[in-house]
Amino acid sequence: MIDTQAIRKCFPILSRKVNGKPLVYLDSASTSQKPDIVIDTVSDFYRNSCGNVHRGVHALTRETTELYEDARRTVARFIGAADPAEIIFTRNATEAIHMVAWSWAREHVGEGDEIVISEMEHHSNLVPWQILAKERGANLRFLGIGMDDTLEPGDLESLITPRTKLITVVHVSNTLGVINPVHEIIRIAARNGVPVFLDAAQSVPHLPVNVAELGCDFLAFSGHKMLGPAGIGVLWVSKNRQREMKPFLTGGGAIDQVGRDGATFNEAPYKFEAGTPAVADALGLAAAIDFLDEIGMENVRAHEEELTARALSSMSRIDGLSYYGPEQTALRSGVISFNVKGIEPYELGSYLDSHGVAIRAGDHCTQPLLRALGISSTARVSFYLYNTINEIDFFTGLVEKAAEDGI
Ligand SMILES: Cc1ncc(COP(=O)(O)O)c(C=O)c1O
């Protein structure tokens, strides 16, 4: 079990007040808070080492390059990548998804081809595929959601055809909180020779994730949701698929030789990192990973499961409250979307904010999913390693009162 009080001391923002009340931050699925070590790593870089990477011979640029490549090795180790060259730094998960759509899928998806996706996707992992499909004359086919609110792998065999070029699904839903059966999905895909892209924006920060063990082809996540800075994300691509990818952006760093009429490209991963990268943010992400590693991802997961169980148990006793996603905590991460009869999610969010409790209200960038559920918005809480049982109780107590009073 983890020492939450000791962990909280590492996060300076958690001691501030909001609206005169102690901050209770329950919006980590949107973005996480940052420990001192991440904030200090970013500022130390600018104070002491700031140079560009892979350009020039002076001490600062050599040092910066070393730090940046160390950060890549840290990320690779964290997700079990076979080689640091499989790690491509991007701005965020959204950019990483676009890189797969532009650099790989545009070369491999043609007229009449099919991409299997789901209604549970964040817009960042839906709209790029809609655009690609339209442009190429390809079709999106939708994997169903089962009784337990997870994606239904049983449907996959019947959805896959000789025209299926990619399966792209969310590992953990940012709205339902479900942990999808991606091992089963990947097994079926592999049996049929179809590559799999995993949107891991909500899984890598909260669960142990190992790409070698998963056996997928592409995986994307964002630094800011896992204690790291905003502006850094990761696309992991297996070596074999990387060879099939064209550069996304071109220019400095991505290039080998340039003539008047054309260019040849650098090797991976540099080929996919054109322009000056967000070095300080990559170092901040590596510091965040070291922090998480020290606590242990199994412990992070166990703590969030305990918080989720407590929240669901209290929420299920509140009259007029309905939550979405499965009841079994083993099937869900620390994300709970819910509605209270007669109270708009935004109204509830503002009420909680007035008590210092930060939650999210809206469609969570999953409009097709909410439409399928017959709703247009929800309130959402999401937990992380720094949240406590007392905070959960404080939040559920306020919701209970709001439900009783109709606010
Ligand atoms: C499941 C999922 N995918 C993708 C994204 C996009 O992440 P980012 O905004 O960091 O690019 C999010 C963000 O909330 C998400 O929850």
pLDDT tens-place string over residues 86-113 = 999 999 999 999 999 999 999 999 999 9
Residue 56 has pLDDT above 80, yes or no: no
Q: Is 202 in the pocket of ligand 1 (CB under 6 A)?
A: yes
pTM metric for this prediction:
0.98
Q: What is the residue-averaged pLDDT of the chain?
A: 97
Residue among 32, 95, 119, 124 to mutate when testing ligand 1 (max atoms within 8 A of CB): 124
Question: What atom of ligand 1 comes closest to residue 365's alpha carbon?
Answer: 14
Tens digit of each residue's pLDDT (9 = 90 or more) over 230-246: 999 999 999 999 999 99
Give pLDDT, residue 286: 99
Question: What atom of ligand 1 comes closest to residue 92's alpha carbon?
Answer: 11
Query: What average pLDDT score do residues 203-227 get?
Result: 98
Residues paired with 338 in a beta bridge: 323, 379
Q: Is 216 a catalytic residue?
A: no
Q: Which CATH superfamily is domain 4-28+296-405 in?
A: Aspartate Aminotransferase, domain 1 (3.90.1150.10)
Give pLDDT, residue 128: 98
Question: What atom of ligand 1 comes closest to residue 364's alpha carbon?
Answer: 14
**φ, ψ (nearest 5 deg) of residue 10:** -80, -5
DSSP state of 281: H
Residue 253: pLDDT band (50, 70, 90) is confident
**Euclidean distance between CA atoms 138 and 370, whole angstroms:** 25
Distance 232 CA to ligand 1 centre (A): 12
Q: Is 168 in the pocket of ligand 1 (CB under 6 A)?
A: no
Give pLDDT, residue 222: 98
Q: Is 238 in the pocket of ligand 1 (CB under 6 A)?
A: no
Tens digit of each residue's pLDDT (9 = 90 or more) over 1-44: 899 999 999 999 999 999 999 999 999 999 999 999 999 999 99
Query: What average pLDDT score do residues 136-160 get?
Result: 95
Query: What average pLDDT score do residues 145-172 get?
Result: 96
Distance 401 CA to ligand 1 centre (A): 32
Residue 346 has pLDDT above 90, yes or no: yes
**Euclidean distance between CA atoms 366 and 201, whole angstroms:** 14
Comparison of pLDDT for 194 and 56, the residue scoring more: 194
Q: Is 64 in the pocket of ligand 1 (CB under 6 A)?
A: no
Residue 55: pLDDT band (50, 70, 90) is confident
Query: What average pLDDT score do residues 329-348 get?
Result: 98
Query: What average pLDDT score do residues 370-393 get?
Result: 97
Q: Which residues lie below 8 Å from residue 240, measured CB to CB, with a gap of 6+? A: 217
CATH 3.90.1150.10 intervals, the chain: 4-28+296-405
Q: Is 32 in the pocket of ligand 1 (CB under 6 A)?
A: no
CB atoms within 10 A of CB 124: 21
Residue 18 φ/ψ region, left for φ over 0, alpha for ψ in the -120 to 50 degree band, beta for the rest? beta
| Overall fold of domain 39-293 | Aspartate Aminotransferase; domain 2 (3.40.640)
Q: Is 364 in the pocket of ligand 1 (CB under 6 A)?
A: no
- Amino acid of residue 225: K
CATH 3.40.640.10 intervals, the chain: 39-293
**Euclidean distance between CA atoms 60 and 67, whole angstroms:** 10
Q: Is 222 in the pocket of ligand 1 (CB under 6 A)?
A: yes
- The first and second tokens of residue 383, run together, are 């937990």
Question: What atom of ligand 1 comes closest to residue 199's alpha carbon?
Answer: 3
Tens digit of each residue's pLDDT (9 = 90 or more) over 174-206: 999 999 999 999 999 999 999 999 999 999 999
